[in-house]
Chains A and B, each alone.
Chain A
Amino acid sequence: DAGVTQSPTHLIKTRGQQVTLRCSPKSGHDTVSWYQQALGQGPQFIFQYYEEEERQRGNFPDRFSGHQFPNYSSELNVNALLLGDSALYLCASSLFNSGANVLTFGAGSRLTVL
């Protein structure tokens, strides 16, 4: 049973570039949430996708955008990268109507912005 898979695992970009990160949810899950985890910090909520729509959003600028596809997989896009965007980006999947708020996380994509 495949859990949450994320790609790429590591990537290096320069300031001003754009990046796309990808996530495949756990089998049976329909909701994808994205988190940013800076070094030494806890994950910060970016946004959540369900039924191909952004349902909730944390305190992140419009440079952060996303998409969910009919097969429930998701992408996170970040435009005009800043040095401060360097972090581990975590994708978590869940079942929207389970009521249990149980998140299954992937191993993350580590982004370094130079």
Chain B
Amino acid sequence: TQLLEQSPQFLSIQEGENLTVYCNSSSVFSSLQWYRQEPGEGPVLLVTVVTGGEVKKLKRLTFQFGDARKDSSLHITAAQPGDTGLYLCAGVPHNNNDMRFGAGTRLTVKP
């Protein structure tokens, strides 16, 4: 089983719709990060959340870190085709020092 469980695994929506993807764990994390990966490229960091309950906004993207620092969500408002990609959450477990990744949510936004 993955240390970080992401859901849904796949998501296909129309341009202009809103969506939320989730990243859950039974472990506590020092911090959680969200990356977006496009085909043929490596993951690109979107945001890092470090404080339980923290909410960060990046244009149409809103990231939230759970109060217990075990989960996170990413909400996209008015999705655009350019948002298409693999969204990965990653974190450093509290008792470890290496970055662990979830399996990702593959988002497709149709024009």
Residues of A whose CB lies within 8 Å of any CB of B are 4, 33, 35, 40-45, 48, 56, 58, 90, 92, 100-108
B contact residues around A56 at 8 Å (CB): 97-98
Report 12 cross-chain contacts, Cβ distance below 8 Å, ordered by A residue.
Answer: A42-B88, A42-B90, A42-B103, A42-B104, A45-B99, A45-B100, A56-B97, A90-B43, A92-B42, A105-B42, A105-B44, A107-B40
Residues of B whose CB lies within 8 Å of any CB of A are 2, 4, 6, 30-31, 33, 35, 40-45, 48, 88, 90, 92, 97-104
Q: Are B101 and A43 in contact (CB under 8 A)?
A: yes
Complex CA distance for A62 and B4, rounded to whole angstroms:
25
A interface: dominant SS? loop
Considering the complex, give the chain B residue whose CB is closest to the CB of A108: B42
Q: Are B43 and A101 in contact (CB under 8 A)?
A: no
Which residue of A40, A101, A108 contacts B31 across the interface (Cβ within 8 Å)? A101
Known: A42-B88, A101-B33, A101-B48. A90 touches B101 (CB 8 A): no
Q: Are A42 and B44 in contact (CB under 8 A)?
A: no
Q: How far is the CB of B80 from the nearest CB of chain A, in Å?
A: 23
Complex CA distance for A104 and B99, rounded to whole angstroms:
12
Q: How far is the CB of B42 from the nearest CB of chain A, in Å?
A: 3
B contact residues around A4 at 8 Å (CB): 42
Considering the complex, give the chain A residue whose CB is closest to the CB of B91: A101
A contact residues around B100 at 8 Å (CB): 45
B contact residues around A43 at 8 Å (CB): 43, 88, 101
Q: Are A101 and B92 in contact (CB under 8 A)?
A: yes
Q: How far is the CB of A105 from the nearest CB of chain B, in Å?
A: 3
Q: How far is the CB of B6 from the nearest CB of chain A, in Å?
A: 8
Q: Are B42 and A48 in contact (CB under 8 A)?
A: no
Complex CA distance for A35 and B35, rounded to whole angstroms:
14
Which of B2, B41, B42, B100 has the largest number of chain A CB atoms within 10 A? B42
